[in-house]
Amino acid sequence: MLTRTGVDIDTLDRDDPLKARRELFSIPRGVIYLDGNSLGVLPRAVPERLAEAVRIEWGESLIRAWNAHGWIDLPQRVGDRIARIVGAAPGTVTASDSTSVNVFKVLAAALALRPERKVILSDNGNFPTDLYMAQGLRDLLGRGHELKIVDPEAVEDAIDESVAVVMLTQVDYKTGRLHDMAGLTAKAHAAGALTIWDLAHSAGALPVELDAAGADFAVGCGYKYLNGGPGAPAFLYVAARHHDTVTPPLTGWMGHEAPFAFDLDFRADTGIGRMRVGTPPILSLIALEAALAAFDGVDMQVLRAKSISLSELFREEVERRCPDLVLASPRDPQVRGSQVSFRFEHGYALMQALIARGVIGDFRAPDIVRFGFTPLYLSHADVIAACDIIEEIVATRAWDRPEFHKRAKVT
Ligand SMILES: *Cc1c(COP(=O)(O)O)cnc(C)c1O
């Protein structure tokens, strides 16, 4: 099949080095899933692994499973798997808590490393929960910290010697704009500041090099591109050079050096373990661990090349076919994550109409329709099929029906 601009879709899909990975996922018939950036699809390995864990590990081994089935080491095992995907050394990442809670933990830890400085620098492209957590921590500390929020393009110039921490989301959740992690980290360090990177829309979507970039702290989601399932455990990274000096703000027993010594006083674990808090969600960790196997042997540069190929095809086709949709993402794929967003006045209704036809993306207020591209299970043929439906719905105004305008709780 050739597109109207002469792109040979069949050849692109036939030569796709990741095409066999699609078999690892359970994608409902009739669905073109462009929302893996919000909730990844179900990996085929997960239901069976979970059923076995419930029936045998929980059901039969009971409390013995903490040792017999290695439950106690799961946060670290899963952390090490994620570490490979985000360019971090083994032992520097742990799976734990939610991304929001991890933002709190690393921000508090970072501020404690720069006690004389008062500014937390972030941008208005950051995901609100990150900013909310910073506001709550600022108020809780009551030490006169200032959360400074600037435009994404103004972050670099706003880094100066008043800044304690530069806290950014690498890929803007609305537009897909990609920050230069290495460049901004170097600039922050030159000013004596620390960095926190939120990788919610980066981990599993593009090559991330936390260690090479010199990042200090990072957090990210398990349920987006990592496909760990709804509410999957998040992750947290602390650069190895900070392991001995970082102070955990939430001092739960799972972060203690010897939880089963039951000492009355907290003594931080060595290494990343000190950032853990309470008993981890074992079933969710088991699901996430099984899901991460889909990344085994994947070269993240190859994944990135396919991501760009898919998202560029989509951008070109939608811009050509639907002039009423205005590109909200960077046109240059090198400064864009694995998503493409468009502004459309009736974006909410348009997305509901698309979902009714099996093209699943999502809507972000006030007017953004967002489409994520997950290279492990999407093909170029999927992209063209989605574009055909988008074109038809926009051209016929099929979105303009009362049921598509009715707002649900989750958009
Ligand atoms: C999705 C997302 C989160 C979600 O945080 P939770 O605690 O899992 O709800 C946080 N930060 C960013 C940048 C996100 O995109």
CATH number of 356's domain: 3.90.1150.10
Domain that holds residue 337: 9-30+298-405
Q: Is the Cβ–Cβ distance between 183 and 153 less than 8 Å? A: no
Matching residue, tokens 């907290």? 266
CB atoms within 10 A of CB 406: 10
- What pLDDT, on the 0 to 100 scale, is given for residue 97? 98
Ligand 1: atom nearest CA of 231 is 8
Query: In the numeric block, which tokens belong to residue 278?
Result: 């309470």
**How far apart, in whole angstroms, are the C-alpha atoms of residue 219 and residue 233?**
11
Same domain, 353 and 210: no
Question: Which burial class, exposed, middle or buried, applies to 376 when counting CB atoms under 10 A from its CB (0-12, 13-18, 19+)?
Answer: buried
Q: Which of 246, 266, 295 is the last residue of a domain?
A: 295
Q: Is the Cβ–Cβ distance between 102 and 219 less than 8 Å? A: yes
Same domain, 161 and 244: yes
For residue 97, report the distance from its CA to the centre of ligand 1, in Å: 12
Domain count for the chain, please give it. Answer: 2
Same domain, 272 and 336: no
pTM (2 decimals)?
0.97
Q: Is the Cβ–Cβ distance between 281 and 97 less than 8 Å? A: no
362 lines ligand 1 (CB under 6 A): no
Same domain, 279 and 314: no
**How far apart, in whole angstroms, are the C-alpha atoms of residue 331 and residue 401?**
32
**How far apart, in whole angstroms, are the C-alpha atoms of residue 61 and residue 188?**
49
CB atoms within 10 A of CB 324: 12
Whether residue 127 lies in the annotated active site: yes
100 lines ligand 1 (CB under 6 A): yes
200 lines ligand 1 (CB under 6 A): yes
Residue 3 maps to a domain: no
Same domain, 71 and 120: yes
Whether residue 299 lies in the annotated active site: no
Same domain, 266 and 338: no
Query: In the numeric block, which tokens belong to residue 366?
Result: 């006030």
Strand partners, 56: none
Catalytic residue (choose from 25, 104, 217, 223): 223
For ligand 1, pick from 98, 103, 129, 201 the residue to mutate: most ligand atoms within 8 Å of CB.
129
**How far apart, in whole angstroms, are the C-alpha atoms of residue 83 and residue 81?**
5
- Per-residue confidence in pLDDT tens, the chain, 411 aa: 888 888 899 999 999 999 999 999 999 999 999 999 999 999 999 999 999 999 999 999 999 999 999 999 999 999 999 999 999 999 999 999 999 999 999 999 999 999 999 999 999 999 999 999 999 999 999 999 999 999 999 999 999 999 999 999 999 999 999 999 999 999 999 999 999 999 999 999 999 999 999 999 999 999 999 999 999 999 999 999 999 999 999 999 999 999 999 999 999 999 999 999 999 999 999 999 999 999 999 999 999 999 999 999 999 999 999 999 999 999 999 999 999 999 999 999 999 999 999 999 999 999 999 999 999 999 999 999 999 999 999 999 999 999 999 998 988
Q: In this structure, which amino acid lies at residue 332?
A: D
